């Protein structure tokens, strides 16, 4: 049987370059340190404009699976809908996510929807309240059991609409991240109607009574239609991810997909070819700039994935180990083969290596 290869996609692993060395200072991550030192740089992308409306791991997924579009717009919503059990058909879909927009002193800030603690019954009630506002051919789908709640909107009246990925805008002043394009006015009108409907809704009255923030808006992003099923991405033998976009892309390409394991997959469980594993544990901590928990999560990834994967490569159980590490603007892909691990002259402390990658 052919020896398998492993590709680890790690969103939000690259902190800001100026802070990277300090953020990993004192951490014992020997496997990651060795991989960063011995592996070769296979690819990197750092847009000239740091204010991209998408995230690096989203752009990497779009390229890997052959999606059309620009770096500033990644049409992932129909694939998310597919992963959530919907049938996108040929329509153009946006992800429409219930959110809380916080009113700061002189601006508005989008908060992480995973902090909303929105229950399924409350989400269903808010969805039911929004449905009568849909006009013409507009469709608002609420797949069950998504955590946090994710809805999907198709509306031909929106036309061309450029949006910002939810996690790109989270924690920031939303002013520069608002939708633009021919459909922006139609969307803002619908968004305002939904906001007014929810303002005094019993769900929000109850939430505020128990100290939870109100659900006061929808965030629209990821607009696009399904691409024809075809070859891009088929070099992957299997995909392990809990990211709905990644799962949907794999499903659409006919690639076996499952949630990631708690720790590194043993070689016997890997098929011939390359298995992609997306590790998302760092995301929420990075977005909230909770660097203590980010450090703790990085240590868990070291113990559960980096160290076991390095051992498998050293033993010859893997033909190659790739790491795609992403920040909030840039991404790098490193490739290590067994022979690379013997290049002892390639060395350097983790802090300087990570800072160097963050600055590429």
Of 324 and 355, the one with more pLDDT: 324
Give me the percent of the chain exceeding a pLDDT of 70. 94
Question: What region does 71 belong to: left with phi over 0, alpha with psi -120 to 50, or beta?
Answer: alpha
pTM over 0.85: yes
Rounded Cα distance, 234 and 231, in Å: 5
* Burial class of residue 232, CB neighbours in 10 A (0-12, 13-18, 19+): middle
CA angle 238, 239, 245 (to 5 degrees): 145
Per-residue pLDDT tens for 15-48? Answer: 988 888 889 888 899 999 999 989 998 998 888 7
**Which residues have CB under 8 Å from 122's CB, separation 6+?**
203, 206, 207, 215
> Is 70 exceeded by the pLDDT of residue 346?
no
- The predicted model gives 109-135 an average pLDDT of 94
Instruction: Match 């298995």 to its residue by tokens.
Output: 275
| Comparison of pLDDT for 228 and 206, the residue scoring more | 206
- What value, to the nearest 5°, has the Cα angle with vertex 223 and ends 219 and 224? 165
Say if residue 17 is exposed, middle or buried (CB neighbours under 10 Å; 0-12, 13-18, 19+).
middle
Structure confidence at residue 350 (pLDDT) = 66
Tell me the domain boundaries of the chain.
Answer: 5-69+231-358, 77-224
The CATH number assigned to the domain with range 5-69+231-358 reads: 3.40.720.10
**What is the average per-residue pLDDT within 72-96?**
94
- Helix, strand and coil content of the chain, in percent to the nearest 5, comes to 40, 20, 40
- Nearest Cα to 114, choosing from 76, 147, 150? 147
Q: How confident is the model at residue 344 (pLDDT cuts 50, 70, 90)?
A: low
């Amino acid at each position: 049987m052919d020896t398998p290869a492993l590709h680890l996609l790690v969103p939000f692993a690259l902190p800001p370059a100026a802070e990277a060395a300090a953020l990993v200072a004192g951490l014992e991550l020997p496997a990651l340190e060795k991989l960063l030192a011995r592996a070769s740089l296979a690819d990197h992308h750092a847009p000239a404009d740091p204010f991209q409306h998408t995230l690096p791991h989203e752009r990497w997924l779009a390229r890997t699976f052959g999606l059309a579009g620009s770096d500033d717009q990644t049409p992932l919503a129909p694939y998310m809908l597919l992963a959530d059990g919907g049938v996108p058909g040929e329509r153009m879909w946006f992800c429409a996510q219930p959110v809380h927009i916080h009113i700061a002193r002189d601006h508005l800030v989008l908060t992480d929807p995973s902090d909303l603690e929105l229950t399924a019954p409350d989400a269903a009630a808010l969805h039911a309240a929004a449905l009568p506002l849909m006009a013409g051919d507009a469709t608002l789908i609420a797949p069950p059991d998504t955590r946090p709640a994710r809805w999907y909107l198709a509306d031909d009246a929106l036309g061309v609409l450029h949006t910002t990925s939810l996690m790109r805008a989270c924690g920031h002043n939303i002013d520069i991240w608002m939708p633009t394009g021919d459909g922006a006015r139609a969307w803002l009108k619908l968004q305002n109607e939904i906001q007014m409907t929810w303002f005094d809704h019993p769900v929000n009255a109850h939430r505020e009574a128990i100290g939870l923030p109100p659900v006061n808006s929808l965030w629209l992003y990821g607009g696009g239609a399904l691409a024809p099923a075809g070859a891009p991405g088929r070099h992957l033998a299997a995909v392990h991810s809990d990211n709905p976009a990644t799962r949907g892309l794999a499903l659409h390409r006919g690639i076996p997909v499952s949630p990631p394991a708690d720790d590194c997959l043993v070689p016997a469980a890997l098929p011939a070819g390359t298995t992609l594993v997306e590790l998302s544990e760092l995301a929420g901590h990075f977005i909230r700039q909770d660097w203590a928990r980010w450090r703790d999560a990085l240590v868990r990834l070291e113990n559960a994935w980096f160290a076991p994967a390095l051992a498998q490569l050293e033993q010859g159980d893997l033909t190659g180990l790739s790491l795609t590490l992403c920040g909030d603007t840039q991404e790098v892909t490193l490739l290590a083969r067994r022979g690379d691990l013997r290049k002892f002259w390639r060395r350097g402390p983790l802090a300087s290596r990570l800072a160097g990658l963050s600055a590429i």
